[in-house]
Structure 1
Amino acid sequence: MIAQKSHLANIDVWKQWREDRQLKAKQALIETYLPLVDYVSGRLSIGLPKNVSKEDLSSCGIMGLIDAIEKFDYERGLQFETYASWRIRGAMIDGLRQGDWVPRSVREKAKKIEDAYQKLEQQYLRSVTDSEISSYLDVSEQEFQQMVQEIAVTTVCSIDDPIREEDSETRLSLLIDEKAKSPESKVNEVYLKETLAKAIERLTEKERTVVSLFYYEELSLSEIAEVMNLSPSRISQLHSKAILRLKGSLSRHKSQLFYD
C-alpha cells in the first residue's frame, strides 16, 4: 500500500487550484497523487483477463484522478486519498465496461451463482457448501470451481453503479456529509450494517479471512495468497464466492435496506 499523506500538507497548492484556478497547481496535485492510480490499478488488475492492459487501466484511472481533483473541496476536512481512490476505481471499472471486457455468458454465470447462494442460504439459514451449490446448478464441483474462476472479474463494482438495477440512485449518492444525514438514511445505514454483519458471519472461515485482509488490511490477492499459503487462483475463488454470497444476502433484504 502506498504511504498516504494528509491533503493538509498541500493546503497552499489546493488553495491555488480551488480559489485561483492555477493550472500549475492542478498539475502539481496530479503529480503528487499519481501514485494512487498505480496503487488502485495494481489491486484491480489482479484476476482480470490478459487482454486487459494495465496501461489502459491506468489511463482511465488518471481521468478519474483528474475528476477527483476538480471536484474535491479541501475545506470540508476530508481525506483526499480516500475520495480519489473511489473515483479512480470507478473510472477504471467504467472504462472496462465500455470496452465490453466481460462476455455476457460470464455475467450470466455470475448471476446464476448469486441467485443460487441467495435461495439456498435463505432456505437453509446457513452458509451452503460448494457441493450443495453444485448440485443446485446441476454441475460437478470441478465445473463449479471453474465457473467461479471465470467470474472473478465480475466481483468488482463501481460507486457509480445503481444500488438496485431498476433505480437510478448510485452508491456514490450515499457518500454524503456525515453531518447532513437524514433520519431515514441513518436508519438505513444501521440496518445495512446489521444485515452485512450477519451476511459476513455466514461466510466460511477462509472467505472471511480473505474479505478482511483484502478490504480492511488492503492486501493484494497475491499477498493474501502468501499469508494463507494458498495459490492466487484459490484466493481469487474465495474472494469471488464471498462477494457472491454477500450480494445474494443483501439482495434478499434490498427492499428493506432502501426506501422507495
Structure 2
Amino acid sequence: MYTASGTLDKEQLVIQYAPLVKRIAYHLMAKLPASVQVEDIIQNGMLGLLDAINRYEEGLGAQFETYAVQRIRGAMLDGLRENDWLPRSLRRDMRRIEAAVHQLEQQNGRPPTETELAGSLGMPLADYQHMLQEARGYQLVYFEDFAGDGDEDYLERHITIEGNDPLTLLMDSNMRDVLIQGIDDLPEREKTVMGLYYEQDMNLREIGEVLGVSESRVCQLHSQAIARLRSRIAGAVNGTAPVKVKGRGRRAAG
C-alpha cells in the first residue's frame, strides 16, 4: 500500500476500500427515506474514506478498516443531517398504521394481515403497500415519539430524569421484555427480514434474494415490522397491556 518513495498509495487504498463504502451505503438505505439517493450516500462515504486514509497513517489492516467504517458512516450521516430524514406527513401516516395494528391486535388477538390493515385504514392494498415503501427510514424510536393529544412528547417529559434517554428507556427491563415479545410475535417473513438485516448485516437487495422477493417488497416488510414493534412499545408506554397474540405471529400473513 506504499509507493516507491515510501508514501501511502492513497489511490490504491481508495480502490481497495470502495466496495466497503458501497456496502455500508446500501445497508444504511433501509434506515433512510425513499427520497434519498444511494449515489449521494456513496459520495459522502467516499469523502469519509479519504478522510480516514489521510488521518490514519499506520497499520492499514483490520484496525484501519474498523476506523474507516466509523469515518465513512460519520460522513454519510453528516451529509444527511441537514435534511429531514422523514417528512412529518409520513410519520403521521405511520402512526395511523401503528394505531390500526394496535386496534386489530386487541380485537383479533393476533397480528393483523396487510389486507386487514389496509381495510382498517380505508385504502386499497396497493396504496397501503406504497405507504410502507415510502416510509423507508422509519425508526423504532425518536425523541419526539409518543406525543399525546396536546403534542407533549413522552420522551421530552422524561428526559430531565437522569439517564432517561431513548436508549435507556428502551433498555428498561419491562420495555425490553415488551420488545422481545413483539419481535417473537412478528409474522414469520417480517421476523426473517429483521433478523437478516439487524443480525446478519444484510442489505435490502440481499434479503430480497434470500426471500425470493423484490427489494421494494423487503422495504415494505421492514417498515411494517417497525410499525408493529412501535405499536407494542407505545402500548407499554401508555399503559395499555399487550394482548396475548395467538400463534406467536406465524399464522398471520406478512
TM-score, normalised to structure 2, is 0.61
Confirm whether residue 125 of structure 1 aligns to residue 106 of structure 2.
Answer: no
Against the structure 1 CA distance between its residues 129 and 41, is the aligned structure 2 distance closer, same or farther, given a 3 Å change threshold?
Answer: same
Match of 2:222 among 225, 239, 245: 239
- 1:56-82 CA distances to partner (integer Å, 9 max, x unpaired)? 4246557889999xxxxxxxxxx9988
Higher helix share: 1
**2: distance between equivalents of 1:130 and 1:41?**
29
RMSD: 4.3
* One-letter code aligned to 2:137: T
Q: Which moved more, 1:46-55 or 1:113-122?
A: 46-55
1:108: Cα distance to partner? Answer: 2.2
The one-letter amino acid of 2:117's match is I
Within 5 Å, give how 1:139-154 maps onto structure 2: 139-151=123-135, 153-154=136-137
Identity of aligned residues (%): 39
Matches within 5 A, 1:240-255: 240-254=223-237
Q: Report 1:43-54 matches (<5 A).
A: 43-45=27-29, 52-54=36-38
Q: Is the 8 A contact 1:64 1:90 kept in 2?
A: yes
Aligned partner of 1:16 in structure 2 is none
Q: Does 1:208 align with 2:191?
A: yes
Q: Higher RCO, 1 or 2 (CA under 8 Å, sep at least 6)?
A: 2
Q: Where does residue 176 of structure 2 map in the other structure?
A: 193
TM-score, length basis structure 1 = 0.60
Alpha-carbon separation, structure 2, partners of 1:130 and 1:86 = 37
Largest Rg, 1 or 2: 2
Which residue of the partner structure matches residue 162 of structure 1? 143
Gaps of 5+ in 2: 1-9, 53-62, 146-154, 240-254
Runs of 5+ consecutive residues of structure 1 not aligned to the other structure: 1-26, 69-78, 175-184
1:221 and 1:229 mapped to 2: Cα distance?
12
**Partners in 2 of 1:190 and 1:36 — Cα distance?**
36
Return the letter of the residue paired with 2:177: E
- AA at the equivalent of 1:213: L
Contact 1:221/1:235 (8 A) holds in 2: yes
Q: Which amino acid aligns with 2:128?
A: F
